Structure 1
């Protein structure tokens, strides 16, 4: 499948006259809990030629779209963000972008962009937006999927992963890793909760995306207690960050010159 994805990325470069600087797997495969029938969620950052940026119309307006989205098939979902859009979202600690930077499944990496973004992360990291994103994700999925007698196995992970991400930020004050297994190892001690989650991981790896399981009370109790705690913790967050725009402008300009020299 990797060869098919890389071929598709090359086709996108030719079709849209861009260079793809970074492409990774996102979603359940990158998180570490795919099902047998999980599709491939490929996300990328791309850059246009200099003349595309030197025009009176700003990026993201009219015909100058700042995303590339290919038709989704049963097996492959592939889309990307133009570099200035990606850097603006990086400035806001966008959760999806920060996860891309942590993916272990890399299909393409060209030039210095990603390494330099990683080196700047501590200067742009803004925990409030990231924390709210993960906490709201957990609350929404808990209300929507965890309250009945039967729960779809994958929905447990769509609540547990964001809760553990919040717990990571509470404990370590950095953006969380993308790997669910790494989050589990750092946050959840040995015991009944961990055993039940490991059991669900096993079921998910063997089953289909739609498989269900009787509600597991120890997990639901953990979810309820932690969401109450995290709602209180977020009120205590007081982090100030400097405006990184000048550094991100320099990064964009130097990468533009580097790619199209």
Structure 2
């Protein structure tokens, strides 16, 4: 599959006349709980020629789209963000983008952009927005799939992971790791809850269907308690975000020069 992805990335560069700076795997494979038949979610950041930026219409407006989205099939979902879009989202502490920076499955990386971007993360880190994002993700999935006595049991991972990410930020005040395994080991203490989650994870990795089953009380109790507690914790935060725009402008210009010099 890696060969197919590499070929597709080269085709995208030629088709759209761009340079890809970074391409990774996201989603369940990067999080550490894919099924054997999970598709591949490839995400990338790219940059246009300088002339594309030197025009009266800003990027993202009209025909100047700031995303590239290839047709999705059963095996591969591939899309990318233009560099200035990525940097604006970085400024907002966009959680999916920050997860891209932590993916262990890297398909392509060239130039100094990503390392320079990572070095600025402390300048943009703002826990409030990330906490709200992850908590809302947990609440929505819990409300949609895990109510009642019979539940969509595989959805537990889409509730547990964002809750553990919130607890990581609460504990360490830094961006959480992408790996569910690391979050689980560090955040949940040994005991019944951890054993239940590990058992569920083992079944999912072995590709059990994990469709409709009886709810797991110990996990539901944990989720309900943490959602309520985290809502109060977020309300108590009094953090003023920094404005890293000048640094991000410099990073964009330096990258434009490095790629197209």
Range into which the TM-score falls when normalised by the shorter chain: over 0.9
Q: CA RMSD in A?
A: 1.0
Please say if residues 47 and 256 of structure 1, whose CA atoms lie closer than 8 Å, have aligned partners that are also in contact.
yes
Instruction: Show the counterpart of 1:153.
Output: 153
Counterpart of 1:102 in 2: which secondary structure? coil
Instruction: Show the counterpart of 1:46.
Output: 46
Q: Which moved more, 1:231-240 or 1:200-209?
A: 200-209
Instruction: Show the counterpart of 1:232.
Output: 232
Please say if residues 47 and 82 of structure 2, whose CA atoms lie closer than 8 Å, have aligned partners that are also in contact.
yes
What TM-score, normalized to structure 1? Answer: 0.98
> Would the alpha carbon gap of residues 79 and 209 (structure 1) be closer, same or farther in structure 2, given more than 3 Å must change?
farther
Instruction: Show the counterpart of 1:113.
Output: 113
Instruction: Show the counterpart of 1:185.
Output: 185
Q: Which moved more, 1:231-240 or 1:54-63?
A: 231-240
Q: Aligned pair 1:84/2:84, yes or no? A: yes
Runs of 4+ in structure 1 deviating by more than 6 angstroms, as ranges, are none
Instruction: Show the counterpart of 1:128.
Output: 128
Unaligned stretches of 5+ in structure 2? none
CA distance in 2, matches of 1:65, 1:209: 39
Q: Aligned pair 1:16/2:6, yes or no? A: no
Please say if residues 38 and 209 of structure 1, whose CA atoms lie closer than 8 Å, have aligned partners that are also in contact.
no
> Would the alpha carbon gap of residues 41 and 242 (structure 1) be closer, same or farther in structure 2, given more than 3 Å must change?
same
Please say if residues 146 and 153 of structure 2, whose CA atoms lie closer than 8 Å, have aligned partners that are also in contact.
no
Q: Compute the displacement of 1:210 (Å).
A: 5.9
CA distance in 2, matches of 1:128, 1:222: 22
Please say if residues 90 and 98 of structure 1, whose CA atoms lie closer than 8 Å, have aligned partners that are also in contact.
yes
1:153-172 matched pairs, under 5 angstroms: 153-172=153-172
Instruction: Show the counterpart of 1:29.
Output: 29
Q: Compute the displacement of 1:203 (Å).
A: 1.1
Q: Compute the displacement of 1:208 (Å).
A: 5.2
Instruction: Show the counterpart of 2:63.
Output: 63
> Would the alpha carbon gap of residues 209 and 257 (structure 1) be closer, same or farther in structure 2, given more than 3 Å must change?
farther
Please say if residues 134 and 165 of structure 2, whose CA atoms lie closer than 8 Å, have aligned partners that are also in contact.
yes
Instruction: Show the counterpart of 1:250.
Output: 250
What TM-score, normalized to structure 2? Answer: 0.98
Unaligned stretches of 5+ in structure 1? none
Please say if residues 37 and 209 of structure 1, whose CA atoms lie closer than 8 Å, have aligned partners that are also in contact.
no
CA distance in 2, matches of 1:48, 1:153: 43
